[in-house]
């Protein structure tokens, strides 16, 4: 009996010790203990000193936020999920206190008059954050509406009653149709992807695809109406006529008119969405031999050497990255097991801040890359990870929140293009990969038009979305304006949905037309130690000042030249 009691006591102690050592438990404890004090610069100092002091005071808050985001990606038990939720709510309250601190407002105003580019940049970021603040009750209502839309879109199931039996993949027996116990008419209950490939009738494919796009409408229509109203109120409080104008005002594409110019320039005809599956199944893949991921990584390391990037291997799962004599940080290599379906994913753990902390990033990948697409994804993921570590700013907000936000990924995308040129053959024009990329681009164009239109209240850039759909996909869809219910980006990014498309266009243009060498591009786009604004970077890249409208015309010219 004594031995049994001792065994039980030991087990309980081990469980308690494991809970105490749990990283989520430790994070939750640190998080709930964190309290942001009213920020006071004492004794009073110059704004340039104040902002450094503020950065030092807030770095703990930023690191807690990033750790929270890192653990939220994993499947966790209910206790851990609850702990992270409480942490998230607490940090939200602390950030809200920061936004309402009058000293922060006055500091952001003072920094606008600074002669230092990085201090002007931090002023823009603080202004963006302060303009985006909402009262807690309004924010909670908005998040509830967004969550309802997300939930509706995650429902993949589609039940569709078909009036024409020819659209059924499997013939329905007469006995089943005449069975009085079968109260439902023949319908659709297949996987949407498999149905579009297996169905030979184009009318049926179109019918099912269009129905699938609108599957979330009934459940999300009211929530989306509330989101639009809340965003419009936010824009009016900031002095703008509509949310589209408000959201774009701080971007490189700074007006709805410029965004329309860009989206029109990018519009090109391609396959209709319901024809894509069959077209891809019939197209050849770009021929490429399977290769171990570690081999591709070693080739990436070699290709980066001309830029001064040095890789120090610490163990099988961790490398340390250097740029010249500057330590960038650590990259954790998480290779999946052979029997696991591991996706390629980059997750920031801690952001680099010069003079404050080194970065940490996690890169997950399978052991073997057996397709052109997988090898391209790895190159893009590594470019992302390296770009996060290379940030050369001395302020957290500069390194994590680009100003304008529609230029912050240009360097990463340019680096990915450079590495693809070095390591992979180009995909043939009619290959599966090329056709999928063309379709994805036009889908982004069309959705960007939808998002711009939705958040304009008085005059709409695109009054006839059915026509815009046909311009991109060559076939009609009279209900194309209702595609606003088909993707979460309409809420998450809103009028800024175009940003990734735009930055990829800029990266391609820079890759083709830059007047400076690759090493200079690397230093300017990915490090930017002088913290030059993007307009000045473009002047150095192209050898002359280039307006946004001129950039769009250059992109359009290249777009047509590539056809």
Q: What are phi and psi of 332, to 5 degrees?
A: -90, 125
pLDDT at 176: 42
The larger pLDDT score, comparing residue 492 to residue 14, is at 492
Tell me the CA distances in angstroms from 86 to 79, 81, 456, one per residue in order: 11, 9, 36
* Section 206-217 average pLDDT: 91
On the question of pLDDT at 545 being above 60, the answer is yes
On the question of pLDDT at 155 being above 90, the answer is no
Question: What distance in Å separates the CA atoms of residue 488 and residue 470, rounded to the nearest whole number?
Answer: 22
On the question of pLDDT at 163 being above 70, the answer is no
pLDDT at 161: 59
* Section 162-181 average pLDDT: 55
The larger pLDDT score, comparing residue 16 to residue 73, is at 73
pLDDT at 403: 65
Residues 308-319 pLDDT 10s: 999 999 999 999
Q: How confident is residue 455, by pLDDT bands cut at 50, 70 and 90?
A: very high
Please state, for a pLDDT cut of 70, what percent of the chain lies above it. 89
On the question of pLDDT at 237 being above 60, the answer is yes
CA angle (283, 214, 449) in 5-degree steps: 75
Q: Which secondary structure element, helix H or strand E, spans residue 368, and what is its range?
A: strand 368-369
The larger pLDDT score, comparing residue 464 to residue 175, is at 464
* Section 521-525 average pLDDT: 96
* Section 221-241 average pLDDT: 93
> β-pairing, 359-365 with 326-335?
parallel
pTM: 0.87
pLDDT at 215: 87
pLDDT at 272: 96
Q: How confident is residue 531, by pLDDT bands cut at 50, 70 and 90?
A: confident
Residues 28-50 pLDDT 10s: 999 999 988 776 655 567 888 88
Tell me the CA distances in angstroms from 423 to 295, 382, 426, 532, one per residue in order: 11, 13, 10, 31
Question: What distance in Å separates the CA atoms of residue 288 and residue 304, rounded to the nearest whole number?
Answer: 22
Question: What distance in Å separates the CA atoms of residue 459 and residue 559, rounded to the nearest whole number?
Answer: 28
pLDDT at 413: 98
- Report the mean per-residue pLDDT for the chain: 86
Among 90-99, 110-119, 346-355, 443-452, the range of highest mean pLDDT: 443-452
pLDDT at 17: 37
> CB within 8 A of 65, min separation 6: which ones?
91
pLDDT at 170: 64
Q: How confident is residue 341, by pLDDT bands cut at 50, 70 and 90?
A: confident
Please state, for a pLDDT cut of 90, what percent of the chain lies above it. 59
What is the residue whose two structure tokens read 């994804």? 377
pLDDT at 179: 45
pLDDT at 8: 34
Of 393-397, 425-429, 430-434, 501-505, the one with minimum mean pLDDT is: 393-397
On the question of pLDDT at 175 being above 70, the answer is no
* Section 505-509 average pLDDT: 97
> CB within 8 A of 515, min separation 6: which ones?
541, 542, 543
* Section 537-554 average pLDDT: 96
pLDDT at 529: 85
On the question of pLDDT at 471 being above 50, the answer is yes
Question: What distance in Å separates the CA atoms of residue 536 and residue 525, rounded to the nearest whole number?
Answer: 11
Among 91-100, 310-319, 401-410, the range of highest mean pLDDT: 310-319
pLDDT at 508: 97
pLDDT at 516: 97
pLDDT at 418: 98
Reduce the DSSP state of residue 42 to 3 states and report it.
Answer: coil
> CB within 8 A of 543, min separation 6: which ones?
515
Of 38-52, 105-119, 436-450, the one with minimum mean pLDDT is: 38-52
pLDDT at 41: 58
Q: Which secondary structure element, helix H or strand E, spans residue 188, and what is its range?
A: strand 187-188
pLDDT at 157: 59
- Please provide the DSSP assignment of 268-337 as one string: -----HHHHHHHHHHSPPPP---EEHHHHHHHHHHHHGGGTEEEEEEETTEEEEEETTEEEEEEEEEEPP
pLDDT at 13: 39
pLDDT at 3: 42
Reduce the DSSP state of residue 219 to 3 states and report it.
Answer: helix
> CB within 8 A of 340, min separation 6: which ones?
366
User: Within a 13 Å sphere around the CA of 96, how many CA atoms are in the beta-carbon half?
Assistant: 13
* Section 117-124 average pLDDT: 82
pLDDT at 307: 97
pLDDT at 344: 95
Neighbours of 26 (CB within 10 A): 13
Question: What distance in Å separates the CA atoms of residue 372 and residue 338, rounded to the nearest whole number?
Answer: 19
Cβ burial of 489 (10 Å; 0-12, 13-18, 19+) is middle
On the question of pLDDT at 16 being above 50, the answer is no
On the question of pLDDT at 172 being above 50, the answer is no
Among 91-100, 432-441, 527-536, the range of highest mean pLDDT: 432-441
What is the residue whose two structure tokens read 């269009």? 210
> CB within 8 A of 186, min separation 6: which ones?
161, 162, 165, 168, 172, 177
């Amino acid at each position: 009996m004594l031995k049994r009691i001792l065994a039980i006591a030991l087990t309980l102690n081990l469980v308690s010790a494991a809970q105490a050592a749990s990283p989520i438990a430790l994070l939750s404890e640190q998080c709930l203990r964190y309290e942001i004090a009213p920020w006071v610069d004492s004794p009073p100092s110059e704004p340039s000193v104040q902002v450094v002091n503020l950065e030092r005071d807030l770095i703990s808050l930023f690191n807690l936020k990033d750790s929270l985001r890192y653990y939220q990606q994993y499947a966790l038990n209910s206790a851990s999920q609850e702990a992270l939720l409480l942490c998230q709510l607490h940090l939200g309250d602390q950030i809200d206190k920061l936004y309402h601190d009058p000293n922060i407002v006055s500091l952001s105003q003072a920094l606008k008059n600074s002669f230092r580019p990085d201090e002007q940049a931090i002023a823009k970021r603080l202004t963006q954050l302060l303009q985006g603040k909402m009262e807690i009750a309004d924010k909670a209502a908005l998040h509830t509406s967004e969550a309802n839309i997300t939930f509706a879109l995650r429902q993949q199931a589609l039940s569709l009653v078909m009036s024409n039996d020819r659209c059924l993949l499997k013939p329905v027996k007469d006995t089943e149709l005449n069975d009085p116990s079968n109260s439902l008419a023949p319908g659709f209950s297949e996987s949407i992807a498999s149905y579009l490939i297996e169905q030979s009738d184009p009318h049926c494919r179109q019918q099912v695809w269009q129905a699938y796009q609108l599957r979330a409408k009934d459940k999300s229509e009211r929530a989306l109406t509330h989101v639009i109203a809340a965003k419009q109120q936010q824009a009016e409080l900031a002095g703008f006529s509509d949310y589209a104008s408000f959201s774009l005002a701080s971007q490189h594409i700074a007006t709805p008119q410029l965004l329309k110019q860009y989206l029109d320039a990018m519009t090109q005809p391609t396959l209709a969405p319901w024809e894509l599956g069959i077209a891809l199944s019939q197209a050849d893949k770009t021929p490429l031999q399977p290769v171990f991921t570690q081999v591709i990584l070693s080739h990436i390391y070699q290709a980066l050497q001309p830029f001064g990037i040095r890789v120090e291997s610490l163990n099988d799962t961790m490398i340390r990255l250097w740029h010249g004599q500057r330590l960038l940080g650590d990259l954790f290599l998480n290779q999946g097991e052979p029997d696991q379906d591991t996706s390629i994913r980059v997750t920031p753990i801690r952001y680099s801040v010069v003079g404050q902390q080194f970065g940490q990033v996690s890169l997950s990948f399978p052991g073997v890359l057996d397709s052109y697409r997988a090898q391209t994804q790895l190159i893009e993921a590594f470019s992302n990870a390296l770009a996060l570590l290379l940030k050369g700013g001395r302020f957290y907000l500069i390194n994590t929140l680009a100003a304008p936000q529609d230029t912050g990924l240009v360097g990463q995308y340019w680096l990915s293009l450079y590495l693809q040129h070095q390591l992979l053959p180009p995909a043939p024009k009619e290959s599966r990969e090329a056709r999928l990329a063309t379709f994805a681009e036009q889908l982004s164009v069309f959705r960007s038009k939808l998002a711009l239109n939705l958040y304009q209240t008085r005059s709409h850039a695109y009054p006839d979305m059915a026509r815009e759909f046909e311009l991109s996909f060559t076939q009609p869809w009279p209900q194309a304006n209702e595609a606003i219910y088909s993707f979460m980006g309409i809420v998450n990014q809103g009028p800024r949905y175009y940003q990734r498309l735009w930055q990829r266009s800029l990266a391609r243009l820079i890759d083709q037309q830059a007047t400076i060498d690759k090493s200079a591009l690397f230093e300017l786009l990915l490090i930017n130690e002088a913290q030059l604004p993007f307009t000045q970077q473009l002047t150095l890249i192209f050898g002359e000042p280039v307006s946004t409208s001129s950039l769009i015309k250059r992109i359009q010219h290249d777009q047509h030249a590539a056809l």
